[in-house]
Every structure is written in C-alpha cells, then in structure tokens.
Chain A
C-alpha cells in the first residue's frame, strides 16, 4: 500500500531553535495535513494544504505542499517547550477519503 516516509524520527533541540521535518511518498497526494499529538490525546490539526506548491503559515509554523505532490515539509520557528510532542504528516490521494499517516517525528525541546 501507499506509504509516507517521515523524517527525522526524533529531534532534540534547544529552545529558540528552528525545526524542520518532512514527508515523502512514492505516489501523488492531493492533500497534505500536519498534526501534532500529545501522549494519550488525539491528533490536533496544525496546517492543511490543498494545492501543489502551496505555502501556508500558522503562527510560528510554516508548511509547504511540494510541487511534485509527493512531498511536504513543516517548519517550526523559535521553538518553545510546549512544542514538545509527536508531529504527523498525513495525506489523502482521493482513492478514498482516508488519511495515510507518516511515522511521526518526536520533538523534544530543552529549555
């Protein structure tokens, strides 16, 4: 089945640093979504991308839908301790409305 390769798997950074993570796929996706999940909680939507090349910001977060429609990245600027969590990319290719998730990036921020 289709897979999303998300990297890095984990990051340990200093507060104030910028963070970048990305997802790639061998197949085309029509939608890319980025979620943040805290332990034992549901994924919270951060940014939704609908068009190839689209660049969208949400506060300190910026995400882009790759022009080939096979990749997306998420940047977090000036990280703070509450950014700690697991970040998931998810895509939809309209073969159905289900989402395929990447493996997640565990972010740890040192105050």
Chain B
C-alpha cells in the first residue's frame, strides 16, 4: 500500500539559511500534519491542514510556515534556521471524512541538520 512520502530524506543547511520540506500524503487522504522530533524526544505537533486550510497550530516558530496545495501535498518552509532546528521532521496524513480522522500515518521523515 502507498505510504506518506517525504523529501528530501536528509538535508544539511547553514545557520540563517532557508529550507523547504515536502510531504505527499497517502492517496485520498486530505489532512496532513507536521511534527518535529528532537534527539531522544517524542514528536511534537507543529501544524496541520485539512482541505488546503490550516486546521490546527501547535508549537511552530514564527520563522516556519506551511501550506497545503490543491493536490494535497504540503510544504514546510523554514527560514533563518537555527542550530536548535536540527531534528527529524515528520509528516503524517489521515482521511478526514472517512470516519478515521484520528488515525495518522507517518512518513519516513526528513532529517534536518543545521551547522
């Protein structure tokens, strides 16, 4: 079965640079979520979108923004990168209208390293 696709899998950036992470949800899933996981930590919710509209917002820094496009893929844009932004970034998707809105399936993640 098709899973959530994330790209790139690894990304190395310098401080103050920008980064864009992409997420392609499971086909027919209309909700995407972004999570950040620091070393040895549990995933922390950043932001989510349902039908291309922002639905929930968590602990996402103002330097980050995200959007969901008409084909339901999503991009997380990160600017003025800081050392502390180094983490695994996960995208998850769910099928909002099919009764299992709360069942989120995670992608393999993007490992961002800021030097």
Chain A interface (Cβ within 8 Å of chain B)?
30-31, 33, 35, 40-45, 48, 50, 88, 92, 94, 96-104
Verify B48–A97 contact, CB threshold 8 A: yes
Verify A98–B48 contact, CB threshold 8 A: yes
Q: Given A31-B102, A33-B103, A45-B105, verify A98-B45 contact (CB < 8 Å).
A: yes
Q: Provide the main secondary structure of the chain B interface.
A: strand
Which of B67-75, B78-86, B107-115 forms contacts with chain A? B107-115
Verify A99–B111 contact, CB threshold 8 A: no
Verify B90–A97 contact, CB threshold 8 A: no
Verify B33–A41 contact, CB threshold 8 A: no
Query: Which B residues touch A96, using CB under 8 A?
Result: 48, 55-56
Q: Which residues from 8 to 54 on chain B have a C-beta closer than 8 Å to any C-beta of chain A?
A: 31, 33, 35, 42-45, 48, 50
Query: Which B residues touch A88, using CB under 8 A?
Result: 42-43
